[in-house]
């Protein structure tokens, strides 16, 4: 079969995926002077934070101090100054669910657009990577599906920020995937849920009884706790509905299991089952006095995965080192979140959490962002190199933003110097990140 390639384009840096890692990577590279493009399959950037409806980036603080800044934090403060985000309160010592930044997803999308355009990023929405041409450890070009047909895109450095390692897998990179993956969530917002809650204990028992009868699935409300459905308040700092931003009743409340976001069949089934799950919950709520008029006001267009596959790099973050607060000498950023493995088969089991002791804040090494066996392929976000337990912590959005900015900065430096990404001088990279406003371990 011969397929016509409609056009060809060339950049210094190409970022595949404009999610929480990708938008920071693209802006960072462009601000460094690199001719940069971002290829995004949806019509907006921000990934799980915006399109996916998990609009509560965490965690920028640890043990009372800020540990992540840079482009991600710039977005948070810009939104807060305009009244579209609520930053965590000082002295930054609340439990981790209350330390997220709660924000308005639509305003985050528009602000990211502005930051992208102002920095000179070429934004390419509604496009997907479908093929990677690799020669001797270099990604020579990729094919991108556009409305006009296939386009060949060349670059000096490519960054995989797809969340499911699409570019890395197409390029033949070594990946790791757990035998059992964490459940995902389909995020939604319910309306007409009164603040005056019914007797939660009675309705929790009713919910459990209906699970036993097969009328409702145990994963429809994670942890089998239906109480939050009735509060009319946000999940994070429990703001009233009219004061909350996007983390409202119903959001991030279910588990879609089993689910592998890197597998087409699993993702298709998961999207269908996720919507069924939300519909079952709403049908049940409509039978409760006072909630007859409750309805689903919005639903994210995709199931947000917590875990799919990880790309093997030239360094590897382990859960043991993460909990111990190990900071490798080539660390480009900090990460702070407990080990947070969501159970799969049994919703009655608690989360597998391991909390970091006072003073322990692990670092993410640059080697975990480079891809083993490749000269010009970097990763950022939840797919960076590490084991399952470490990934359950560093997958959160603030860390993804920090690794994205680090990867974008490294890509611009490597492209400008004409050196393989893994051979980049990490001292120069770390100094550059620090000068650009990131909090870099040891600097």
pLDDT band, very low/low/confident/very high, at 25 (cuts 50, 70, 90)? very high
Both structure tokens of 288: 């409760």
Both structure tokens of 141: 């070009």
> What pLDDT, on the 0 to 100 scale, is given for residue 232?
55
Tokens 């001719």 belong to which residue?
35
pLDDT band, very low/low/confident/very high, at 244 (cuts 50, 70, 90)? very low
Boundary (domain end) residue, out of 251, 276, 299: 299
Residue 128 falls inside a structural domain: yes
> What pLDDT, on the 0 to 100 scale, is given for residue 120?
98
- 192-201, 206-215, 339-348: segment of lowest average pLDDT: 192-201
Co-location of 64 and 200 in the same domain: no
On average, the pLDDT of the chain sits at 92
Please name which of 426, 308, 422, 409 lies closest in space to residue 363, comparing C-alpha atoms.
426
DSSP one-letter code for 242: T
Co-location of 276 and 365 in the same domain: no
268-290 pLDDT per residue, tens: 999 999 999 999 999 998 988 88
Boundary (domain end) residue, out of 234, 266, 299: 299
Q: Tell me the CA end-to-end span of the chain in Å, nearest whole number.
A: 55
Domain extent, residue 327, equals 5-180+307-435
Residue 268 falls inside a structural domain: yes
Q: Which residues pair with 149 in a beta bridge?
A: 146
**pLDDT at residue 245 greater than cutoff 50:** no
Both structure tokens of 98: 């209350």
pLDDT band, very low/low/confident/very high, at 204 (cuts 50, 70, 90)? confident
User: Could you tell me if 154 and 141 are in contact, meaning their C-beta atoms sit under 8 angstroms apart?
Assistant: yes
Give me the percent of the chain exceeding a pLDDT of 70: 94
Co-location of 78 and 118 in the same domain: yes
32-45 pLDDT per residue, tens: 999 999 999 999 99
Residue 142 falls inside a structural domain: yes
> What pLDDT, on the 0 to 100 scale, is given for residue 393?
98
pLDDT band, very low/low/confident/very high, at 189 (cuts 50, 70, 90)? confident
pLDDT band, very low/low/confident/very high, at 263 (cuts 50, 70, 90)? very high
Co-location of 30 and 158 in the same domain: yes
DSSP structure string for 120-168? T-EEEES-EEEEEEEETTEEEEEEEEETTEEEEEEEEEEEE-SSS-HHH
Q: How far is residue 402's CA from residue 396's CA, in Å, rounded to a whole number? A: 10
pLDDT band, very low/low/confident/very high, at 82 (cuts 50, 70, 90)? very high
Q: How far is residue 417's CA from residue 411's CA, in Å, rounded to a whole number? A: 10
Co-location of 208 and 350 in the same domain: no
Report how many domains make up the chain.
Answer: 2
Co-location of 25 and 143 in the same domain: yes
Boundary (domain end) residue, out of 254, 274, 299: 299
Give me the percent of the chain exceeding a pLDDT of 90: 77
Helices (H), ranges, 311-425: 319-324, 388-394, 397-417
Co-location of 36 and 157 in the same domain: yes
Residue 32 falls inside a structural domain: yes
Domain CATH number, residue 370: 3.50.50.60
Determine if the peptide bond prior to 59 is cis (ω within 30°).
yes
pLDDT band, very low/low/confident/very high, at 236 (cuts 50, 70, 90)? low
Residue 164 falls inside a structural domain: yes
């Amino acid at each position: 079969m011969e397929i016509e390639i409609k056009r060809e384009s060339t950049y210094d840096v190409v970022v595949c995926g404009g999610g929480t890692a990708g938008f920071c990577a693209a802006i960072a590279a462009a601000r460094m002077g690199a001719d940069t493009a971002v290829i995004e399959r949806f019509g907006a950037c921000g990934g799980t934070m915006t399109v996916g409806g998990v609009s509560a980036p965490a965690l920028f603080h640890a043990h009372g101090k800020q540990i992540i800044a840079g482009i991600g934090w710039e977005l948070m403060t810009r939104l807060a100054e305009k009244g579209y985000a609520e930053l965590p309160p000082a002295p930054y010592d609340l439990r981790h669910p209350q330390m997220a930044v709660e924000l308005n997803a639509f305003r985050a999308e528009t602000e990211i657009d502005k930051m992208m355009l102002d920095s000179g990023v070429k934004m390419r929405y509604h496009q997907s990577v479908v093929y990677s041409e690799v020669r001797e450890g270099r990604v020579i070009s990729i094919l991108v599906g556009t409305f006009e047909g296939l386009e060949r895109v060349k670059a000096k450095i490519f960054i995989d920020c797809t969340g499911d390692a699409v570019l890395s897998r197409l390029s033949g990179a070594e990946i790791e995937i757990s035998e059992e993956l964490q459940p995902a969530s389909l995020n939604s917002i319910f309306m007409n849920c009164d603040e005056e809650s019914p007797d939660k204990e009675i309705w929790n028992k009713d919910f459990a009884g209906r699970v036993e009868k097969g009328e409702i699935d145990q994963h429809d409300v994670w942890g089998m706790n239906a109480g939050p459905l009735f509060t009319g308040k946000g999940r994070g700092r429990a703001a009233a509905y009219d004061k909350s931003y996007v983390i409202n009743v119903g959001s991030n409340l279910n588990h879609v299991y089993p689910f592998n976001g890197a597998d087409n069949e699993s993702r298709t089934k998961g999207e269908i089952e996720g919507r069924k799950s939300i519909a079952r919950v709403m049908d049940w709520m409509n039978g409760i006095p006072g909630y007859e008029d409750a309805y689903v006001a919005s639903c994210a267009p995709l199931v947000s995965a917590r875990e799919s596959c990880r790309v093997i790099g030239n360094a590897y973050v382990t859960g043991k080192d993460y909990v111990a607060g190990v900071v490798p000498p080539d660390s480009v950023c900090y990460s702070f979140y407990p080990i947070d493995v969501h159970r799969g088969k049994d919703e009655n089991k608690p989360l597998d959490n391991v909390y970091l002791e006072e003073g322990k804040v692990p670092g993410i090494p640059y080697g975990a962002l480079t891809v083993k066996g490749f000269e010009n392929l970097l990763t950022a976000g939840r797919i960076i190199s590490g084991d399952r337990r470490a990934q359950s912590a560093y997958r959160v959005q603030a860390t993804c933003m920090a690794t994205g900015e680090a990867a974008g900065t490294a890509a611009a430096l490597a492209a400008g110097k004409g050196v393989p990404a893994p051979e980049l001088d990490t001292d120069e990279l770390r100094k550059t990140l620090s000068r650009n406003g990131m909090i870099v371990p040891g600097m």
